[in-house]
Amino acid sequence: MIPDFAPLEDTLGLVFGDKSLLLQVFVHRSYLHENPDSVLPSNERLEFLGDAILGCVVAEYLYQRGPEMSEGELTSLRSALVRTEALADFARQLDLGQYLLLSRGEEASGGRDRPATLARTCEALVGALYLDQGLAATRDVILRLVHPALENVLQQRLDKDDKSRLQELAQGELQLTPVYRVVRTSGPDHAREFTVGVWVGERLVGEGSGRSKQTAEQAAARHALERWPLLWAEKRWRGLPVAFQEALLIIQERLAGLPVAWAVGGSVASFLQGLTLEPHDIDLLSDAAGARQMATALAEFEIAPLAWREDPGIASHLGVLAVAGVPVEVIGDLRLTGRGCTLAVRSWEDTHAVPFAAGTLPVVSLEYQLLANLVLGREARVSRLAAHLQEHGYDRALLEQLMAEQHVPADLAAEVWQSLAGEQPRPAESAETPEV
């Protein structure tokens, strides 16, 4: 039975021609677990489409709105307008939560007002609007939501200095916190001039000078903001072994345009987010349908076909490839079991877009990797991930969301926070399992 969407349509200022398409916007994947006979699929494909359209419309709007803005400023504003919290706020303005179709467990755990769920629903609505109403009508709806949000962001930023803006950008896009160091001083004692460098991760991103350290730090942050897009267009991936660069270029090209969400996981994902380690293979994660499509797109590199496989602590659809000589695993519907917990891995849903070559790669967040490796009892990897997140900052809300969605036991959740507080988690039996 299709609910009464009239209030929503009134708010949007339009009437959907295909009500079943509108209903699909609100079908959360958890609902299908309890209703396997549902004729409607989940909203994930619509979410994929809506994410692309939303990003394009917002980027064009900012480009036209701010001809005086640098690439760095435009990138920062776009991130502020399409981040999870902003999209969840748009969803609340439209009261989308009331229409969600959820499992009983998801409902009981607060899923109807969970920011990540609302944000994805908002993206799915944009996708459905585009299919049903076309780009012009979709753009009008998006801009009605985005315009007041942009005014609010701009007003807040009037009170922000360059250091604050750089920190917001670095933490939002890279989960790294800028570090400032004096690199040289000059002049007599009564007219000393300081030159300060600012590092993000291991890279010097800007320098600035001034009569005080504070002034020099602001100048360095301003320099970094001006250079930001150029810096990160080639930053992360250039340190990879050449074979891995070639393999990822092939994967990026072959998977471009696939109507599924996927992510790069494992050691390569960690490397691309700042960890210093030697990558040894490439993991490509999705759900079962996504894994099949990835395996088909990369069929010429197949070594072992995609099939369901179970080992102690791990089960998934798994296909093995060799791309440019690099071992690649295509993994679908990954399940990890350990420490009294079963993790139904959906790490492709909470990815970070890392610049690579002329585009980006979706990579599994370090927060998700920390949780997965803790479940697997991989102490050394947990320690490295936790140390990196302690130093560079982490998304507490994302971790809380992941642990709530996966029903992580309280004692294991406590170990997550202990590891991030610098305390050693309790020993656990290690298992030889693929990385996430």
**Cα atoms found within 13 Å of the Cα of residue 150, Cβ hemisphere only:** 18
Tokens of 4: 């009464």
CA gap 298, 330 in Å, rounded? 10
Q: Is 51 a catalytic residue?
A: yes
CB 81 within 8 A of CB 150: yes
- N residues, the chain: 436
Q: Is 37 a catalytic residue?
A: no
Q: Which residues, 6+ apart, have CB-to-CB distance to 330 below 8 Å?
A: 284, 291, 294, 295, 298, 306, 317, 318, 319, 320, 321
CA gap 362, 284 in Å, rounded? 10
Tokens of 35: 């209703």
**Given 51, 162, 217, 367, which residue is catalytic?**
51
Q: Shortest CA distance to 336 belongs to which of 385, 283, 414?
A: 283
β-strands 193-200, 351-356 pairing: unpaired
CA gap 387, 427 in Å, rounded? 17
Tokens of 42: 């989940």
**Given 106, 123, 333, 350, which residue is catalytic?**
123
What does the longest C-alpha to C-alpha distance in the chain come to? 80
Helix then strand then coil, % of the chain, to nearest 5 = 55, 20, 25
Which amino acid appears at position 353 of this protein?
A
Tokens of 187: 């002049």
**Residues forming the active site:** 51, 123
